[in-house]
Amino acid sequence: MARKFNFSAGPSTLPLSVLQGLQNSMVEHDNAGMSLIEASHRSKQYDAVHNRTIELLGELLSVPATHQILLLGGGATLQFAMVPMNFLPQGASCDLAHSGAWAKKALGDAKKVGNVRLAFDGSAADFMTLPLQEELSLDPKAAYFHLTSNETIGGVQWKEFPDSGDVPIVADMSSDIMSRPFSFDKFGLIYAGAQKNLGPAGVTVVIIRKDMLDRCPDSLPAYLNYKTHAESNSLYNTPPVFSINAMRLVLEWVKAEGGLAEFDDRSRAKSALLYDTIEHSDGFYTNPVDPRFRSTMNVVFRMSSEELEKQFISQATAAGLDGLKGHRSVGGCRASIYNAMPMEGVEALAQFMREFAKNNR
Ligand SMILES: Cc1ncc(COP(=O)(O)O)c(C=O)c1O
């Protein structure tokens, strides 16, 4: 098989060694006489996979003892609801940075549960920029402050996380977790669907500051309460065992490749190559994002007409560069360059972009 370079935003490319690891253990895992997806989630084999996955997340992300790692279902989307259901009681209010399409979804669900104030509203700038600390309007009494660390559709990314005083930050890190180191000090909770930097879809990583668990109301249905999962080491119900095992293999790969510092360097180099290609195209390609907040994960670009973009996408696909169509809500092009996208793939795309521009001016 000639593997394509897959620039899809999620589900997205995975390391070949991970796919082969899954293939090798598909019929029989760990000499158990059965595969892992047939084994009980209370079995010794699965227990080792489950705990190793949590251990690797903790090690690679430098999760401090103050925080607990949970593995949940429902995607990052369920977190849009679970966060306010657990932490936004009646009469309280939370802050939210409205940075684009994904923040809008978090905002929509939070508003159904309680009061939400916008600490930042990017709508006037068409969500092409993010605030500096002094541009944020933070309520010191807010129950929490929600931000989206990387807007997968718009291609904007927080470079430094703000100081919110005693107000815990809740962050949707779905599309840039495991791409750069950060400190957990400010975070009450972070969450991420797996299908970008962590593995296939089906599992959602939640990392919660343990004292936040005291705020979760007992009135919530069991699955929707973080306490339920924290008390049962994320084994309250049947976990998505295939996705968790795949994530374990991805995390072993991240570790073997050098961990977060290495992937931070790689992401900067890969995204810089694409932004340079755009900048040096004499206006053939444009990126609308404030240069201070350009994403290292999702590089968006446009051309002078939709017709040209269509041709670009179809010729790139034919050349083995897949998944470059922008999100259906915004159009244009988008190259998602998560950890498993090698520099070689980004170089091939940059080369293709230069040639396409030369031939279509
Ligand atoms: C930043 C961000 N948040 C949330 C989601 C929703 O994730 P899920 O599809 O896992 O519910 C996505 C999906 O792409 C995303 O990119």
Summarize pLDDT for 227-257 with one digit per residue, the tens.
999 999 999 999 999 999 999 999 999 999 9
In a domain, 313, yes or no: yes
Are 225 and 329 in the same domain?
Answer: no
Are 85 and 159 in the same domain?
Answer: yes
Q: What tens digit of pLDDT does each residue of 76-114 get? A: 999 999 999 999 999 999 999 999 999 999 999 999 999
10 Cβ below 6 A of ligand 1: yes
Residue 284: its pLDDT value, please? 98
Residue 258: its pLDDT value, please? 98
Domain that holds residue 339: 258-359
The whole-angstrom separation of Cα 319 and Cα 286 is 22
High-pLDDT (> 90) share of the chain, %: 98
Are 55 and 156 in the same domain?
Answer: yes
Check whether 9 has a pLDDT greater than 90: yes
Are 205 and 291 in the same domain?
Answer: no
Residue 1: its pLDDT value, please? 83
Distance (Å) of CA 38 to CA 22, 29, 142, 194: 14, 10, 46, 22
Instruction: Read off the pLDDT band of 324 (50, 70, 90).
Output: very high
Are 80 and 108 in contact by the 8 Å Cβ rule? The answer is yes
How far, in Å, from the CA of 171 to the mean position of ligand 1? 12
Task: Select the more confidently predicted residue: 328 or 192.
Answer: 192
| Single residue among 256, 281, 308 that ends a domain in this structure | 256
The whole-angstrom separation of Cα 136 and Cα 138 is 6
In a domain, 2, yes or no: no
Residue 115: its pLDDT value, please? 98
What is the CATH classification number for the domain harbouring 307? 3.90.1150.10
Are 32 and 123 in the same domain?
Answer: yes
In a domain, 1, yes or no: no
Phi and psi, residue 57, nearest 5°: -60, -45
Whether residue 112 lies in the annotated active site: no
Are 275 and 185 in the same domain?
Answer: no
The whole-angstrom separation of Cα 127 and Cα 89 is 29
Distance (Å) of CA 133 to CA 158, 165, 170, 298, 304: 11, 12, 16, 23, 35
Residue 68: its pLDDT value, please? 99
Q: Which residue has tokens 């904007």? A: 156
93 Cβ below 6 A of ligand 1: no
Burial 269-304 (b: 16+ CB within 10 A, else e): ebbebbbebbeebeebbebbbeeebbbbbbbbbbbe
| Single residue among 236, 256, 276 that ends a domain in this structure | 256
Q: State the chain's mean pLDDT as an integer.
A: 97
Distance (Å) of CA 144 to CA 27, 133, 225, 357: 46, 16, 17, 46
152 Cβ below 6 A of ligand 1: yes
Catalytic residue among 95, 104, 109, 172: 172
* Count of structural domains within the chain: 2
76 Cβ below 6 A of ligand 1: yes
How far, in Å, from the CA of 111 to the mean position of ligand 1? 18
Are 52 and 166 in the same domain?
Answer: yes
In a domain, 27, yes or no: yes
Tokens at 75, concatenated: 């995607």
Whether residue 196 lies in the annotated active site: yes
175 Cβ below 6 A of ligand 1: yes
The whole-angstrom separation of Cα 123 and Cα 273 is 29
Are 239 and 264 in the same domain?
Answer: no
In a domain, 8, yes or no: no
Are 209 and 291 in the same domain?
Answer: no
Are 47 and 144 in the same domain?
Answer: yes
